[in-house]
């Protein structure tokens, strides 16, 4: 990882903010969905941890939040990579991912070159899986 501590700190802030705003969004979606569809089947979620909320949503399979959840997991994986010191390394070629790319897309796991190759190879395949 060739990112400076300042760059890494900035990316960590971006990831944390995005993570928090997504969880807020998901909680709102849960509350709304429960009111509309699930009533009191799912039980109260207000006092559960973030992980429990994610699990609950996976069980309920609410289409509107599945994309948000996917991103939450990608952000958490990025935080794990930061903690492990491998954040910013391309998963394909091992090169350091460009800082500007990470700032625009902090969950990136590939450098722009490898990403282009992959998009060409899997042009119509979806990577979005829970
Ligand atoms: Zn690469």
Distance (Å) from CA 87 to ligand 1 centroid: 13
Answer positive or negative: Cα dihedral of 123, 126, 128, 129: negative
- Distant-in-sequence, close-in-space partners of 115: CB < 8 Å, separation ≥ 6: 108
Which has the higher per-residue pLDDT, 123 or 18?
18
Confidence of residue 59 (pLDDT cuts 50, 70, 90): low
Interhelix angle 50-60/5-33, nearest 10 degrees: 50
pLDDT for res 121:
85
Question: 3-state secondary structure string, the chain?
Answer: CCCCHHHHHHHHHHHHHHHHHHHHHHHHHHHHHHHHHHCCCCCCCCCCCHHHHHHHHHHHCCHHHHHHHHHHHHHHHHHHHHHHCCCCECCCCCCECCHHHHHHCCCCCCCHHHHHHHHHHCCCCCCCCC
- Distance (Å) from CA 117 to ligand 1 centroid: 9
- What is the percent of the chain with per-residue pLDDT over 70, rounded to a whole number? 71
Q: State the average pLDDT for the chain.
A: 83
Give the confidence band of 48 by pLDDT, cuts at 50, 70, 90: low
Q: Residue 115 Cα, ligand 1 centroid: separation in angstroms?
A: 7
Which tens digits make up the pLDDT trace of 85-96? Answer: 999 999 999 999
Q: Bigger pLDDT: 106 or 1?
A: 106
Task: State yes or no: pLDDT of 35 exceeds 70.
Answer: yes
């Amino acid at each position: 990882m060739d990112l400076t501590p300042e760059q890494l700190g900035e990316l960590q802030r971006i990831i944390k903010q995005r993570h928090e705003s997504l969880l807020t969004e998901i909680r709102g979606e849960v509350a709304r969905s429960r009111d509309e569809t699930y009533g009191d089947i799912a039980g109260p979620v207000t006092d559960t941890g973030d992980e429990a909320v994610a699990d609950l949503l996976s069980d309920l399979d609410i289409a509107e939040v599945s994309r948000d959840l996917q991103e939450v997991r990608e952000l958490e994986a990025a935080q794990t990579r930061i903690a492990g010191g491998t954040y910013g390394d391309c998963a394909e070629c091992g090169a350091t991912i460009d800082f500007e790319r990470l700032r625009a897309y902090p969950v990136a796991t590939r450098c722009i070159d490898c990403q282009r190759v992959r998009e060409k190879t899997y042009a119509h395949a979806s990577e979005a899986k829970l």
